[in-house]
Amino acid sequence: MQQLVEGQIWTYHHRSKDDSTSRFTIYKIDQMGDHDVVHIKISGVRFAGKKMQIQHMPFTRESIEQSVIELVGNIDDLKDEHFTDGYENWKKESLEGRAGAWTMNVDKAIDLLEKATTGADE
């Protein structure tokens, strides 16, 4: 497994209904207790049939490592206000003990997020 680094763009085991070009970009890697938290932005997902991006999702390093397929690129400019807003909100909530990191594969977490936000079962 290649080392995970901020700015990397990865293909991953995505859901069948998401675009075949779906990717995630690592924007930040933090420590939370004795675990690394990898913060990603995901492109090419479909919620209720609409193509969209997920601006911020935090995962354990292990979950990311189980999800990745191939490193396909890197970006140097990690300035993104949508990601930053989500990250800052997560950081505040995590310091108050109200937020954590996903501990499952990325595709499974996207499924749960879609169900929670749209009420969709598929």
Q: What is the pLDDT of residues 40-55, one digit of tens each?
A: 999 999 998 899 999 9
Enumerate the domain spans of the chain: 8-118
Q: What is the pLDDT of residues 90-103, one digit of tens each?
A: 999 999 999 999 99
CA–CA separation, 73 and 76 (whole Å): 10
Say what the pLDDT of residue 48 is. Answer: 87
Q: In angstroms, what CA-CA distances link 110 with 39, 49, 115?
A: 14, 14, 9
